Amino acid sequence: MQEIENFSGRVFIGGKFDFGKREFSDDLLIPFILSKVSAGFPSPADDYIESNINLNRELIRHPDTTFLVRASGDSMINVGIHPNTTLMVDRMIETKSGDIVIARIGDEMCVKELFIDDDGKVLLMPKNENYKPIEITEDLDFEIWGKVVCSINKH
Amino acid sequence: MQNAIALLDCNNFYASCERVFDAAIKTKPVVVLSNNDGCVIARSEEAKQIGVTMGAPLFKVESLLEDNDAEIFSSNYPLYGDMSNRVMNLLHNFTPEVEIYSIDEAFLNLEPRKHSLDTLAYSIREKMYKWTGIPISIGIAETKVLAKIANKRAKKLELKAQGVLNLYRSDKTEGILKETNVDDVWGIGYRSGLKLRTNNILTAWQLRETDNRFIRRLLTVVGARIALELRGVKCLPFEQVVTKKHSITCSRSFGQTVSNYKLIKEATLYFLTRACEKMRKHNLAANAVTVFIGTDRFRPMPEAYSNSATYSSTYPTDSNQEIQEWTIQTLERIFKQGFEYRKAGIILSGLVPSEQLTKRMFEDERFQRQHKLMKAIDEINQKFGKDTVRFGSVKTEGSWKMKQTRKSQSYTTNWNELLIVR
């Protein structure tokens, strides 16, 4: 290796490098980052401030199994899920009848209310009078993807 | 009782990640391409079955893929990195002793006294699929080398339905080792394999049964350790501690070749910006920057050129401005006119915690101002998106940008690219 003096530092020429190395950008590994919300209290109240509110901590129980998806249609409008509502989905929570779930039917992903009646019949219920319930029969390629734990609507 | 080692491997990881978010490709053959959409680097089971080989150049298999209605993706590393991180974090729900071995593999240290290994393995597999959508295979044995063999076996078709093979204190071990080629043993490379085969050691079982002094003479202590592991004696340490970053690399192949100095400089400074952001995120500062450039690997000699150079400074810094000066000087030394460059990159090294900068901060007012400025720029860019504020000398991705025509959305890392549900 050749060494060249240069300002406060030195430059080495030569050497081998592995071009094929994979790189993962760390800033993309944490699912959702919201900037801190400053309480902005005047100084006399400083003693009473415990900490800032962290929405991630309040809303996300299992960060590693929580995903965000976005609603598109109006079939769930009566439970506050509009086109463009962002849904927080936790895949670790067991789903039960009455839960709002993300489900895959064949090659489509949808958000509906899961309804299981006493006979074990499974229905996906829309929350809009204009839509009909979908009965989940044996022959359907069906999978529950996760439970919707929170809807985010901007106003 | 000796602890058991489990090796978990995400099945066809990149293809599986794509499937989690794309319901339409659940049963189709899926392949993922390398940088610049060159070769196949991941295949779903269906893609393997129609005869797509690993590393096949796209142009060679494109018609085969089309005929079979396959789905082709450019690599989406933000997605795979995020999903890998989730999988690895979740494994800690089963045991605190997890060694992350690669993006899609991890070793677990399990106590056979505490749980039934089979029950635990099936439960891990089932839960990981439910929680992340990623299917995994698990191999369990007394040592890492044996766990690797068990895992490979668990992936084989007859066991696919379960995806679990427990060889811990099992009478199946002998039969499986007899069916395993010595070259397929973890840690046996091409040359060691050749030496063993010329000595008529052809299977993992034969390697296990050979006198250890002989193996040591043939393959040194490294080979002897592998033979011992095959006998169920733990020789490879369980490494849980995440080593602190020693260097940060940012490099990429260009979508098309670049010969112009100005463009190479732009690309290099772009990589530098990304690397510096990452470095400050880890609260680190660098002592040195290495710049490397190169033409296509396959070019014949007169047109082939690659070189690298490192600038190392007396003081560490976390300021783009300073590292940019180092980078440009270094690049000027290795850049040669008249070559078609295909790759460039930078490595930040000599990393120290940025608290160590405090001393310098008090001495150097200019540096202190820069340090604050960089923090502010990072905050703005985090809030409003990559490159909202950047140095004038740094262009956003230009003609050298990676070719990624078939990339899926960044479902888990970009607010504007979330999965749409109806």
Q: Is the distance from CB of B31 to CB of B66 less than 8 angstroms?
A: no
B277 burial via Cβ count (<10 Å: 0-12, 13-18, 19+): buried
| pLDDT at A33 (0 to 100) | 35
Determine, for residues A27 and B382 on separate chains, whether the beta-carbon distance falls below 8 Å.
Answer: yes
Residue in chain B closest to A89 (alpha carbons) equals: B131
Q: In this predicted structure, which of A138-142, B27-31, B349-353, B416-420 has the lowest mean pLDDT?
A: B349-353
| pLDDT at A7 (0 to 100) | 35
* Cα dist from B153 to A108, A109, B9, B11, B166, whole Å: 34, 34, 12, 13, 10
| pLDDT at B355 (0 to 100) | 72
Q: In this predicted structure, which of A29-43, A54-68, B313-327, B328-342 has the lowest mean pLDDT?
A: A29-43
Give the mean model confidence (pLDDT) for residues B59-77. 92
Beta strands across the sheet bearing B30-33: B40-43, B30-33, B71-74
Gap from A150 CA to chain B (nearest CA, Å): 15
**At B271, is the secondary structure helix, strand, or coil?**
helix
Q: Looking at the annotation, which residues of A are catalytic?
A: 75, 112
Out of B90, B250, B310, the one facing A12 most closely (by C-beta) is B310
Q: At what angle do helices B212-230 and B144-155 cross, to 10 degrees?
A: 60
Gap from A58 CA to chain B (nearest CA, Å): 19
Q: Is the distance from CB of B70 to CB of B42 less than 8 angstroms?
A: no
Q: In this predicted structure, which of A43-57, B80-94, B169-183, B200-214 has the lowest mean pLDDT?
A: A43-57
Determine, for residues A11 and B274 on separate chains, whether the beta-carbon distance falls below 8 Å.
Answer: no
Gap from B89 CA to chain A (nearest CA, Å): 7
Give the mean model confidence (pLDDT) for residues B210-218. 93
| pLDDT at B363 (0 to 100) | 64
Q: Is ipTM strictly over 0.85? A: no
| pLDDT at A93 (0 to 100) | 96
Tokens of B121: 């393995």
Amino acid identity, position A35: S
* Cα dist from B286 to A136, B251, B282, B316, whole Å: 58, 17, 11, 5
| pLDDT at B51 (0 to 100) | 94
What is the per-residue pLDDT across B9-27, written as a single tens digit (0 to 9) for each? 999 999 999 999 999 998 8
pLDDT tens series, chain A, 155 aa:
343 433 334 444 433 333 322 233 333 333 433 333 444 454 555 555 556 788 888 899 999 999 999 999 999 999 999 999 999 999 999 999 999 999 999 989 999 999 999 998 999 999 999 999 999 998 999 999 999 999 999 99
User: B147 CB contacts (<8 Å, ≥6 apart)?
Assistant: B5, B6, B7, B107, B139, B140, B141, B167
Give the mean model confidence (pLDDT) for residues B230-238. 90
**Residues B370-385 as b or e (16 or more Cβ within 10 Å = b):** bbeebeebbeebeeee
Out of B250, B309, B415, the one facing A23 most closely (by C-beta) is B250
| pLDDT at B104 (0 to 100) | 93
**What sections of chain A are H helices per DSSP?**
55-59
| pLDDT at B15 (0 to 100) | 96
Give the count of beta carbons closer than 10 Å to the beta carbon of residue B263: 17
Determine, for residues B422 and A109 on separate chains, whether the beta-carbon distance falls below 8 Å.
Answer: yes
> What is the separation of C-alpha A143 from the centre of its chain, rounded to a whole number of angstroms?
18
Determine, for residues A12 and B309 on separate chains, whether the beta-carbon distance falls below 8 Å.
Answer: yes
| pLDDT at B240 (0 to 100) | 66
Determine, for residues B422 and A68 on separate chains, whether the beta-carbon distance falls below 8 Å.
Answer: no
For residue B287, pLDDT beyond 60:
yes
| pLDDT at B377 (0 to 100) | 85
Instruction: Tell me whether B251 touches chain A (CB under 8 Å).
Output: yes
Secondary structure letter of residue B30 according to DSSP: E
Determine, for residues A14 and B307 on separate chains, whether the beta-carbon distance falls below 8 Å.
Answer: yes
Give the mean model confidence (pLDDT) for residues B142-150. 96
Percent share of chain B, pLDDT over 70: 92
| pLDDT at A35 (0 to 100) | 34
The chain-wide mean pLDDT, for chain B, equals: 87
Gap from B379 CA to chain A (nearest CA, Å): 9
| pLDDT at A11 (0 to 100) | 44
State the Cα–Cα distance between residues B415 and B397, nearest whole angstrom: 21
**At B238, is the secondary structure helix, strand, or coil?**
coil
| pLDDT at A39 (0 to 100) | 47
- Can you list the domains of chain A with their CATH numbers? 4-9+61-152 (2.10.109.10)
State the Cα–Cα distance between residues A110 and A30, nearest whole angstrom: 25
What is the per-residue pLDDT across A37-67, written as a single tens digit (0 to 9) for each? 444 454 555 555 556 788 888 899 999 999 9
**Bridge partners of residue A151, in order along the sequence:** A87
Phi, psi of B118 (to 5 degrees): -65, -50
